[in-house]
Chains A and B, each alone.
Chain A
Amino acid sequence: MIKLRLLFTTLLAIISLAAAAAAKDITMGFIYVGPKDDYGYNQAHAAGKEGVSKLPGVKTVEEAQVPETVAVQETMRNMIEIDGATVLFPTSFGYFDPHILKVAKQYPKVQFLHCGGLYTPGKHPANVGSYFGYIDEAQYICGIVAAHTSKTGKLGFIAAKPIPQVLRNINSFTLGARTVKPTITVQVIFTGDWAMPVKEAESANSLIDQGVDVLTCHVDSPKVIVQTAEKRGIYSCGYHANQSSVAPKGYLTGAEWDWTSVYSMYAKLLQEGKKLNDGGIPHLVRGGIKEGFVKVSPYGPAVSDAAKKDADAALAQFKNGTMVIYKGEIKDNTGKVVIPAGTELKQQDPVLEQMNYLVEGVVGSVK
């Protein structure tokens, strides 16, 4: 038995050695819709690109501030034709349809990995894949911490647009908070666009005036919101990246991306010569806390021990895969049952990526 295992491990070692020897140099192209130093969404991706560029045999090329027009098609073609990129990571949601789909058909040998899209087999080209992180898991943890910290029982959420990705974050945050205090409410304000600093500050102020004492958000650059919360002496949870330096007193925790681990995973697969076309690389890659796609910021000084205990317990459940956020019965905030009792929607369930409601406890409307 022991011999067999020994044989097996040696075999494995040989295979991986062979794979390493065969590892090809790859050029990865990254495209961002905004400036790559926005202290938010784009910066998180750029940090992932920085991380992966340190790996041996990986060359990277990047372009920021690329609008969702013909400009991105041109950038993709340039990266392929001039820079020799064999895999592209266009990171904005709006790049997918029609831009990536169009260019992917023209370059069937290049791999297109899109952040946030929903790959549909048969409908989309075989050299297209999509990846995204279940950052709502981290939002769930933030909700737990926020509910423990709040004294008024009112939490605030400043969001850009009522789209599924955003609604899911709001809902998970609320469900997390409601495990602690079932009567807590989350007031949501939609600003209408991804980066509107003045409107975000205005929204933060009006939420605080309404008695909200923990704020979080889903906008491109959360700095202004976290900063406003700190100025007004309330607590905040960050998003996209760790904003604790902006609010040393009131920063509780935050939902962060860890794209380096995702991009390194892809780099490894690609160096091994695997491809989307033949199924070597899965078309739909999703992951949460367990897979290392997302993480929570270290707790700030205002987080109580009880909050830490509950949050850590939930974190452990996420890590061992026993946590299900969307477990019936869940009603939306108009009283309609959206997930019937007894139904459990696992994170991977595509239904969750089409969310169009706000759960009970959220004050606001998706219209």
Chain B
Amino acid sequence: MEPDAAETFAPEIAAVTMAASPPSRRRTFRWRSKLEAVVIPVGVILVSMILFGVFVALQGADPIAVFASMKKASFGTWFSIQNTLVRAAPLMLCALCTAIPLRLGLVVIGNEGALVIGGLCATAAGLQCQNASASTVHIVMAATGMLGGGLWIMLVGILKQYRGVNETISSLLMNYVAIAVLNQAVNTWMKDPDSLNKPSSYPIPDEKMLQPFGDTQIHWGLVFGIIYCFCAWFLIHKTTFGFQVRTIGANIRVARLAGLAVGPVTLITCFLAGAAPGLAGMVEVAAIHGRANESLNAWYGYTGILVAFLARQNALACIFVSVILGGLLASGGILQRAHHLPDATIVVFQGIVFLTILFSESLYGRFKFFREDTA
């Protein structure tokens, strides 16, 4: 009794093929849907702030003061904006690892593993060529990081394509494998004997590190992230390859019937998706840590999954969502320092925000007022 895949997918096909087809409708100003796209997110922020405000008030803190300091610590000053942007950089790259394969209809959550493997490969390569010029080192590291992360996620695609292994589960399991490989590597094969109490690889020389811009804390990671997001968006929405990807995502049977090379397209897409967190791993090593060690595994990957869904799989929206989330992460500390709330408070707030945003997805198109055809 095998359920017929096409049949099970049926109601969605129409919607998705429509979305995948090139834009052809009249270009009139559709203010109602634009308004919807503003009102719903604003409403989400308000609702989650009220929920969190109640929670904070129950703990005996003043919600208004808490929000004021959170604003100060995330977007209030140039100093805090820098913090926010630095936090946002790895998130965008990690988000792409989920966002791009979602276009194929694959839910990949191997972001953390791809980041770790990318960082590890980049370190290994960077150490090999550390006597070359700084820019050579950077290019080699970036290339190997992307290669490592890309192959890692491509493996997920291969397993899916040729063995039918569920990509969500295999990529989740591969996160654990990647972290184990990292720990084993920095504790044995790659270990710098001088890294005494925190086993690490040999360091990349200081002068070969990615330098921040001027006096700021902002480094190349942010630039890489924004460029990668733009490229991904262009690839998916403006190229033939992207059209193939979206067609496969809409209906794999139709795509096969149309003669699309489903296998290669899937593998290339997975590679490009994995290369993004691989690059994030390289940036972590080359701009921040200077060596590979367990700190590479810092939950950027899992947060990236959420960014991808919150951005509704749109690579450009990933930039925006990452900055907002970066601000949220950067404002966590001030709750402890200024308001003496427990360290878990910010986690509760994140949970509330994520749940509300996810719920808000279902609100689009639900209100009559925002429908163009009723106007």
Q: Which residues of A contact B (CB under 8 A)?
A: 35-36, 61-71, 73-75, 77-79, 81-83, 93-94, 97-98, 116, 118, 161, 163-165, 192, 353-354, 356, 367
Contact = CB atoms under 8 A, between A and B. Distances in A.
Interface in B315-373: 329-330, 333-334, 336-338, 343-344
A165 B195 CA distance: 12
B17 interface: no
B336 A164 contact: no
A78 B217 CA distance: 13
Contacts of A93: 197-198
A354 B195 CA distance: 10
Given A35-B343, A163-B197, A74 B330 contact: yes
Contacts of A69: 284, 288-289, 295, 298
Contact of B79 (A35, A65, A70, A81): A81
Contact of A63 (B72, B83, B298, B333): B333
Contacts of B198: 93-94, 97, 163
B333 A164 contact: no
B310 to A, nearest CB: 21
Interface in B292-316: 293, 295, 298-299
B296 to A, nearest CB: 9
Contacts of A161: 187, 199
A189 B344 CA distance: 31
Contacts of A81: 79
22 contacts: A35-B344, A62-B337, A63-B336, A63-B343, A65-B344, A66-B333, A67-B299, A69-B284, A69-B288, A71-B298, A71-B329, A78-B334, A79-B337, A82-B72, A83-B337, A94-B295, A97-B290, A98-B288, A116-B197, A161-B187, A164-B196, A367-B188
B73 interface: yes
B337 A164 contact: no
A102 to B, nearest CB: 9
A169 B204 CA distance: 31
Interface in B75-126: 79, 83, 86-87
Nearest to A98: B290
Contacts of A164: 196-197
A82 B334 contact: yes
A78 B73 contact: yes
Nearest to B183: A192
Nearest to A165: B197
Nearest to A367: B188
A163 B298 CA distance: 21
Contacts, number: 79
Given A165-B197, A353-B196, A68 B288 contact: no
A63 B289 CA distance: 21
Q: Which 3 A-B pairs have the closest CB atoms?
A: A65-B343, A64-B343, A68-B295
B337 A63 contact: yes
Given A35-B344, A63-B336, A118-B196, 20 more contacts: A35-B343, A36-B343, A62-B336, A67-B298, A67-B299, A68-B295, A69-B284, A70-B87, A70-B288, A71-B329, A74-B86, A77-B79, A78-B73, A78-B334, A83-B338, A93-B197, A98-B288, A163-B198, A353-B196, A354-B196
Contacts of A82: 72-73, 334, 337
A353 B194 CA distance: 11
Contacts of A353: 196
Chain B interface secondary structure, helix, strand, loop or mixed?
A: helix
- Chain A CB within 10 A, most for which of B198, B199, B293: B198
Nearest to A65: B343
A74 B289 contact: no
A161 B183 CA distance: 11
A74 B333 contact: yes
A60 B56 CA distance: 23
A93 B334 CA distance: 23
B269 to A, nearest CB: 29
A164 to B, nearest CB: 5
Contact of B336 (A64, A77, A98): A64
B343 A61 contact: no
B86 A70 contact: yes
A283 B329 CA distance: 34
Nearest to B212: A102
Contacts of B338: 83
Contacts of A62: 336-337
A77 B336 CA distance: 15
Contacts of B336: 62-64
Contacts of A68: 295
Contact of B289 (A61, A66, A75, A98): A98
Nearest to A102: B288
A136 to B, nearest CB: 14
A75 B333 contact: yes
A31 to B, nearest CB: 9
Contacts of A98: 288-290
A99 to B, nearest CB: 8
Nearest to B330: A74
A24 to B, nearest CB: 21
Contacts of B193: 356
Contacts of B330: 74
A12 B306 CA distance: 64
Contacts of B343: 35-36, 63-65
